[in-house]
Amino acid sequence: MKLRDRFNRKYLQISLYAIFTAIVIYILSLIAKNAPAILKDLMGRVSWVLRVIKPVILGFVFAYLIEPVVVFFEQKFHKSKLFKKMKRQRTWAAVISVVLLFIAIAGLISLLIYSVTDQLRLANFDDFIELVESYIRSIEGYIYFILQYLEKLDIGSNQFEQYLEETLTVIINSLNDVGQSIVNSISNISGYFTTIVFSFIIGFYFIIDGKKFKSFLKRTSYALLSEKTNNKISVILNDLDYAFSGYIRGQLADAFVMMILISLVLSITGVKFSLVIGIFAGIGNLIPYFGPIIAYISTTIVCLMNGEMNKLVISIIILIIIQFIDGNFIGPKLLSRSIQIHPLIIIISLIFGSAIGGFLGMLLAVPVGAYIKLVFVKFIDNRIEKKTIGEKDKSNS
């Protein structure tokens, strides 16, 4: 009798399944036991990969945002009789776009610095000193009130000294953390500068040879993936471009318009640091609802510090009117209709974006939410269409 005939194949198969299951359970138990260390190592590797590819990602974002300006100049060169025969029109269009961008950024920074220095030069330092002395007197009065209250409570000196020592320890530790953060930020300036330079270089090449990159990626995808997968990828990329380009570029244009309007209006009403408030409110407008908050709070602080209550009331009323015009007329004109989503969804997206990615997450939260909404609406429409076709087939049969 042969050896293989002595074994029952059914029992052998069950035994192998049991052994395999035991091995899998043992491996999973090891993974669960060492999960924190594995997760920490994995996150470290992911963080390293992200640091390495950060210039590529930032370069792509830079090229993506400036692409409409480059296309505009490229079309102008192509239509112009003077520049129609010019070689490498794409390169020259990219150079002009980047130069104009640098001029705009340099001009914005120069205006910001000029506004601050001009306001400081015109400031009445006697009033400023008097204001500081008034605050100091208020603080001294507050401290005196606390000391009088402690005496009434009859707190022992040892206990009070212990509380005071603990409070001072917390304050010193906080100041130490702030100082360490500042030192780390200063030490990382060279790293930030290197990242920005490489991002710009990579982005510039993306702008110039973007069509070649896209063609190469399409050929690679066509060679490695099936036609069905390629069609799905194409649909996903088109939807992402539709949602992100409609929001980000429109939001940048809206931020620029609000920057000008707020600066102009506050300058007319005579609020100090109007240009500074307008610039920061415009930048804050990149995140929904943050721009108006920055404008209201900044205007209130500046007017209260200078005792200009009339200007404060007038400025707040005009800012509310501007915000109403922006929310109902300017914003909808600049933003694509495809990304119009409910304010509640915007707030939820901002909360999740802030928790996941901080400030950058808040910037990307709304277009990501718009993309999810777009995909969900397509899914619902597709399901309704299939049900409608199925009901028609049943009725015909």
Q: For residue 145, is it within any domain?
A: no
List CB contacts of 92: < 8 A, sequence separation 6 or more: 73, 77, 86
Q: For residue 199, is it within any domain?
A: yes
More confident: 111 or 185: 111
Report how far Cα 230 is from the mean position of its chain's Cα atoms.
Answer: 30
Q: For residue 170, is it within any domain?
A: no
The whole-number pLDDT of residue 279 equals: 85
Q: For residue 321, is it within any domain?
A: yes
Looking at the fold, whether 236 and 309 belong to one and the same domain comes out as yes
Return the structure tokens found at 343: 């304010």
DSSP 281-350: HHHHTTSTTHHHHHHHHHHHHHHHHTT-HHHHHHHHHHHHHHHHHIIIIIHHHHS-GGG---HHHHHHHH
Looking at the fold, whether 24 and 58 belong to one and the same domain comes out as no
The whole-number pLDDT of residue 386 equals: 80
Mean pLDDT of all residues in 295-315: 84
The whole-number pLDDT of residue 7 equals: 53
Q: Nearest Cα to 71, choosing from 233, 254, 237, 207?
A: 207
Q: Nearest Cα to 62, choosing from 234, 175, 198, 224?
A: 198
More confident: 45 or 55: 55
Per-residue pLDDT band at 125 (split at 50, 70, 90):
low
The answer on pLDDT for 4 being more than 60 is: no
Looking at the fold, whether 367 and 313 belong to one and the same domain comes out as yes
Looking at the fold, whether 91 and 218 belong to one and the same domain comes out as yes
Interatomic CA distance for residues 256 and 327, integer angstroms: 15
Looking at the fold, whether 270 and 372 belong to one and the same domain comes out as yes
The whole-number pLDDT of residue 229 equals: 85
Main-chain dihedrals φ then ψ at residue 68, nearest 5 degrees: -60, -35
The whole-number pLDDT of residue 181 equals: 63
Interatomic CA distance for residues 192 and 186, integer angstroms: 10
Q: For residue 248, is it within any domain?
A: yes
The whole-number pLDDT of residue 338 equals: 46
Q: For residue 273, is it within any domain?
A: yes
Q: Nearest Cα to 98, choosing from 205, 225, 13?
A: 205
Interatomic CA distance for residues 64 and 58, integer angstroms: 10
The pTM for the full model equals 0.61
State which amino acid sits at residue 263: S
The whole-number pLDDT of residue 1 equals: 47
More confident: 368 or 11: 368
The whole-number pLDDT of residue 26 equals: 78
Q: Residues 145-176: pLDDT tens digits?
A: 666 666 665 555 566 556 666 766 776 666 66
Mean pLDDT of all residues in 84-95: 78
More confident: 27 or 175: 27
Looking at the fold, whether 207 and 249 belong to one and the same domain comes out as no
In order of 207, 272, 323, the CA distances from 293 in angstroms are 36, 18, 10
Among 165, 197, 222, the domain-final residue is: 222
Using DSSP, state whether 34 is helix, strand or coil.
coil
Side-chain-side CA neighbours of residue 146 (13 Å): 8
The answer on pLDDT for 28 being more than 60 is: yes
List CB contacts of 61: < 8 A, sequence separation 6 or more: 203
Q: Is residue 267 within 8 Å of residue 275, measured between CB atoms? A: yes
Q: Residues 289-304: pLDDT tens digits?
A: 788 888 888 888 888 8
Q: Nearest Cα to 245, choosing from 71, 53, 51, 52?
A: 71
The answer on pLDDT for 342 being more than 80 is: no
The whole-number pLDDT of residue 133 equals: 65
More confident: 142 or 219: 219
Looking at the fold, whether 95 and 240 belong to one and the same domain comes out as no
Neighbours of 359 (CB within 10 A): 10
DSSP 355-370: HHHHHHHHHHHHHHHH
Interatomic CA distance for residues 258 and 294, integer angstroms: 12
Q: How many domains does the chain have?
A: 3
The whole-number pLDDT of residue 130 equals: 63
Q: For residue 213, is it within any domain?
A: yes
Mean pLDDT of the chain: 76
Looking at the fold, whether 204 and 275 belong to one and the same domain comes out as no
The whole-number pLDDT of residue 185 equals: 59
Looking at the fold, whether 269 and 322 belong to one and the same domain comes out as yes
Range of the domain at 24: 3-33
The H or E element containing residue 280 is: helix 274-284
State which amino acid sits at residue 23: I
Mean pLDDT of all residues in 276-294: 83
DSSP 42-90: HHHHHHHHHHHHHHHHHHHHHHHHHHHHHHHHHHHHHH-TTTTT-S-HH
Mean pLDDT of all residues in 303-323: 85
Looking at the fold, whether 260 and 343 belong to one and the same domain comes out as yes
Side-chain-side CA neighbours of residue 210 (13 Å): 20
Looking at the fold, whether 25 and 94 belong to one and the same domain comes out as no
Lowest mean pLDDT among 99-103, 349-353, 357-361: 357-361
Looking at the fold, whether 346 and 211 belong to one and the same domain comes out as no
Q: Is residue 369 within 8 Å of residue 354, measured between CB atoms? A: no
List CB contacts of 203: < 8 A, sequence separation 6 or more: 58, 59, 60, 61, 62, 63, 66
Interatomic CA distance for residues 103 and 96, integer angstroms: 10
Mean pLDDT of all residues in 368-372: 80
Q: For residue 201, is it within any domain?
A: yes
Interatomic CA distance for residues 274 and 363, integer angstroms: 25
